[in-house]
Chain A
Amino acid sequence: QKEVEQNSGPLSVPEGAIASLNCTYSDRGSQSFFWYRQYSGKSPELIMFIYSNGDKEDGRFTAQLNKASQYVSLLIRDSQPSDSATYLCAVKGGSYIPTFGRGTSLIVHP
């Protein structure tokens, strides 16, 4: 069974700090990797995706992928209280059906 693992947290960081969120996956055939943000009581929304080894930057967000270690991470620079949410990692393989982790709760305190 394909598994996507995330530390449930909560991860608490001060405003302005870097938040680092991690995700590991079991299926070596996984090909694309997504980070979604979910505010309390809302539906998930895409932050960014990555499919090549290395880093991908989008504004304050950087996704990092290491396929050899089966590891993907999300860095949030200059964290803001509005970044407080649950971050879901999702993985796609040949079936194109995303498998989600349980999510990491992030709290950014002023």
Chain B
Amino acid sequence: NAGVTQTPKFRILKIGQSMTLQCTQDMNHNYMYWYRQDPGMGLKLIYYSVGAGITDKGEVPNGYNVSRSTTEDFPLRLELAAPSQTSVYFCASDGARLGTEAFFGQGTRLTVV
């Protein structure tokens, strides 16, 4: 059981470039999230999805886009990368009950230069 798989693990982008962070889960979870984590800070919610075809903005959505065409996949798109997007990105999925935990991917360390 792979859980949440996130790729790539590391990436360096030049300012203005675009990229997609891939995330897939095999636990049949309806809820999926994208967080970013800056040094010394907690997890900030970028976008979330409560099911295939349904996405919504979180706390820090500017500069990002998402889609959810299947239950398994929840890619995050960065358009026109900026240095402020240098961060560690985590994808997570959740069974969407009060007592269920979020399962995290291994993270993507992104540097924009």
A-side residues, CB < 8 A to B, are 1, 4, 6, 8, 31-32, 34, 42-46, 49, 51, 88, 90, 92, 96-103
Q: Which residues of A contact B99 (CB under 8 A)?
A: 32, 49, 51
Q: Which residues of A contact B106 (CB under 8 A)?
A: 42-43
Q: Which residues of B contact A102 (CB under 8 A)?
A: 40-42
Smallest CB–CB gap between B94 and chain A, Å? 7
Of all chain B residues, which has the CB nearest A34? B101
Smallest CB–CB gap between A91 and chain B, Å? 11
User: Quick check: A92 and B41 within 8 Å, CB to CB?
Assistant: no
For chain B residues 81-108, which have a beta carbon within 8 Å of chain A?
Answer: 90, 94, 96-99, 101-102, 104-107
For chain B residues 2-57, which have a beta carbon within 8 Å of chain A?
Answer: 31, 33, 35, 40-43, 45, 48
Contact of B98 among A31, A42, A46 (CB under 8 A): A31
Smallest CB–CB gap between B82 and chain A, Å? 23
A44 to B94 Cα, complex, angstroms: 13
Of all chain A residues, which has the CB nearest B42? A102
Other contacts beyond A49-B101, A88-B43, A100-B43: 6, CB < 8 A: A34-B101, A92-B98, A96-B31, A96-B97, A100-B42, A101-B42
B-side residues, CB < 8 A to A, are 31, 33, 35, 40-43, 45, 48, 59, 90, 94, 96-99, 101-102, 104-107
A110 to B94 Cα, complex, angstroms: 37
- Please judge, given known A-B contacts A34-B101, A43-B104, A90-B102, whether A96 and B40 are in contact too, CB under 8 Å: no
Smallest CB–CB gap between B3 and chain A, Å? 10
Show 16 residue pairs from A and B whose CB-CB distance is below 8 angstroms, ordered by the A residue: A8-B40, A42-B106, A43-B105, A44-B43, A45-B104, A46-B102, A51-B98, A88-B42, A88-B43, A96-B31, A97-B33, A97-B45, A97-B48, A98-B94, A100-B42, A101-B42
